[in-house]
C-alpha cells in the first residue's frame, strides 16, 4: 500500500483555507516591508526605474516569502503556518518529508506568478502600452487559474507546483479550529 492509501489528499477547500491563513502572515510581512519603504522614501531614497522597483520587490517580498515557505515545508512539521493550523502537511510521492531543494522548487513555482505580476505592474506603470508586459500579466493570471483548476479537477488535488516538485498535500490531523 502507498502512503496515499493511508493519508487522503487535502481537498481544494482545505488547501484554500490554509492558504488564507498563510496570506494573513504574508500581509503582515508586506505591511512591515511597506513601512520600511515609506521610511526610506521619507528619508529621500528614490527608486527611479521599473527595474529597480521590481528588484526591490523581489528581494524584500517574493524571495523572503518563497524561502520561508520552502523552509517550513521542508521542516519536520512539513507545513507552513496555515497548513499546520489546518492539519495539513506536504510530502513527496512516497509519503516522505521533502528536501529543502525540492521545497524551494515547489515554492518557486508557486510564487512565480507573484513575481511575474510584480514585473508586469511596475513595467506598466512606466509604459502602459507595452504589449509584452500585458502578456506577462495575463500569463501570471493564467498560471494561477490553471494551477487552481488542476488542483480542483485532479483526483489527488495536485496543483502545478505539486506536479513540478513531485509533492502532494495530505490531511494529517484535525488542526486547531480557526
Beta strands in 10-141 (DSSP E): 88-92
Tens of pLDDT along the chain (178 residues) come to: 354 456 789 999 999 999 999 999 999 999 998 998 889 889 998 888 888 888 988 999 999 999 999 999 999 999 999 999 999 999 999 999 999 999 999 999 999 999 999 999 988 888 777 899 999 999 999 999 999 999 999 999 999 999 999 999 999 865 555 5
| Coil/strand/helix, residue 157 | coil
Phi-psi map region of 96: left, alpha, beta (phi>0 left; psi -120 to 50 alpha): beta
| pTM of the model as a whole | 0.86
Q: What are the residue boundaries of the structural domains of the chain, listed by start?
A: 3-171
In the prediction, which pLDDT does 175 show?
Answer: 52
In the prediction, which pLDDT does 174 show?
Answer: 56
Amino acid at each position: 500500500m502507498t502512503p496515499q492509501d493511508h493519508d487522503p489528499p487535502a481537498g481544494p477547500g482545505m488547501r484554500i483555507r490554509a492558504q488564507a491563513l498563510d496570506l494573513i502572515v504574508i500581509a503582515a510581512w508586506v505591511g512591515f516591508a511597506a513601512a520600511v519603504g515609506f521610511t526610506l522614501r521619507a528619508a529621500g531614497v528614490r527608486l527611479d526605474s521599473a527595474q529597480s522597483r521590481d528588484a526591490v520587490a523581489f528581494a524584500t517580498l517574493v524571495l523572503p516569502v518563497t524561502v520561508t515557505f520552502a523552509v517550513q515545508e521542508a521542516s519536520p512539521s512539513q507545513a507552513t503556518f496555515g497548513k499546520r493550523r489546518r492539519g495539513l502537511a506536504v510530502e513527496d510521492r512516497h509519503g516522505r518529508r521533502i528536501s529543502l531543494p525540492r521545497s524551494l522548487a515547489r515554492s518557486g513555482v508557486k510564487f512565480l506568478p507573484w513575481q511575474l505580476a510584480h514585473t508586469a505592474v511596475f513595467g506598466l506603470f512606466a509604459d502602459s502600452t507595452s504589449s509584452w508586459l500585458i502578456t506577462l500579466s495575463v500569463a501570471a493570471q493564467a498560471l494561477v487559474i490553471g494551477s487552481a483548476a488542476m488542483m480542483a479537477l485532479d483526483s489527488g488535488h495536485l496543483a502545478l507546483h505539486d506536479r513540478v516538485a513531485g509533492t502532494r498535500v495530505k490531511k494529517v490531523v484535525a488542526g486547531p479550529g480557526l
